[in-house]
Amino acid sequence: MSVFVQIVYFVAAAVFILGLKKMSSPVTARGGIVWAGMAMVAATLVAFLEPGVLDHMSNVVLIVLAIAAGSAVAYVTAKRVAMTDMPQMIAIYNGMGGGAAAAIAAVELVRVTGGHHLSTITLSLAVTGALIGAVSFSGSAIAFAKLQGLIKKTIRLPLHQMLNLVLFGATVVVGVLISMNDQPSAALVLAFFVMALVFGITVTTPIGGADMPVVISLFNAFTGLAVALEGFVLNNAAMIIAGTVVGSSGTLLTQLMAKAMNRPITNVLFSSFGSDGGAAAEESVEGSMKEIEGNDAAVMMAYASKVIIIPGYGMAVAQAQHKVQELTKLLEERGVEVKFAIHPVAGRMPGHMNVLLAEAGVEYDKIVDLEDVNPEFPNTDVALVIGANDVVNPVARSNPDSPIYGMPILDADRARNCIVIKRGKGSGFSGIENHLFYADNTRMLYGDGQKAVAALISGVKALS
């Protein structure tokens, strides 16, 4: 039976990896999710056949009840969640994974305090996984609360980063003491988990919303690593492989996103960028914002040869993606070439804009990444910006004193004309004033994203 279990674990891990590979493309992503889900179900079911598991039926009943309860909650919440709330759902689900890994480590460490023996290496792996999982759990909970609007202010204490450093150092020291002790005290283990959870909170509270996509991706990598480490502790091949794949892919994604912002991970975690605009928010801008009516903007787009649409979080909030797709079809019927330009950190989670556009039925080949689309802007008649801010701010190229200087941006300002749909005249989520809004070739179409696009649709239809 043990050989059969290991074979199923191996096959499940292989299918999981293949499923993850299929998720890399929107065309095959749905199938990839199904594959990975089936693999995880198989690995979960075969775990009941592990030697000794069925000898403790009371534990089996508790496990089944926990799986049923968790599955029911996940199914209901996933069916009901709005697309605009997807980032916070991802954050909290990811946190649950880290919490589960930390809970596994907690069980093993409690057993050690009662006299159960683990080798020094295994005990060290359990402690490391507990630390990473606990930080991911509490940090993801804070990210969820920020995205959900439960925490509206960025909390930054005096000497905040110094306090974080001291807290992290103390947590590591306690973790080392546990690893070096054959039978650590329960109080020491409890102190370790409390400090790890508090550190996850304090390291996340200063981080502004503009950095949340990177933070969510980083905590995803943490969760995968924690699961892999606890897989070594339990000698479970499925956990080791799945956790390693998730951890490595999450790490790679985090690095790519940080590169897209031209900032190291340490800067994302410790600079508090996005919590307020600082001096950059008060920077004076030459010129003025020039307003345009929906009908005039519609005429400009209807008689264009090429239009590039740049979606941002404002489109998600207004749930305007379906209207945007309707506008796209109308323009294409008039012979206008339409493309969508996606910045790697647009929205509140990795791939947020891609998910919204896919939901609206936008064809994948019309969605173009930053590096490929930027050379096309000088030959574009109209760049339509819907709720995006920092990812189109030209100060990233021109002002060395700006917090976003050096960040690769979408070159909307280099289009012949730029129309910006925006709810008001305030600065964006990071608090940095956007010089694009004051450019001579830019016109502002104020209002809710969905209503503004509806006005463009009406204007285009009136020309038919």
Which positions are catalytic?
390
Nearest to 239 by CA among 16, 18, 2: 16
378 DSSP assignment: G
Number of helices followed by number of strands (H, E) in the chain: 18, 6
Amino acid at 293: E
**Three-state SS letters, 425-464:** CCCCCCCCCCHHHHCCCEEEEECCHHHHHHHHHHHHHHCC
Amino acid at 105: A
- 256's enclosing H/E stretch is helix 237-260
61, burial (CB in 10 Å: exposed 0-12, middle 13-18, buried 19+): exposed
Give the Å distances, CA to CA, from 442 to 211, 306, 370, 461: 27, 16, 20, 23
365, burial (CB in 10 Å: exposed 0-12, middle 13-18, buried 19+): exposed
Give the Å distances, CA to CA, from 104 to 27, 108, 185, 196, 283: 36, 6, 18, 15, 50
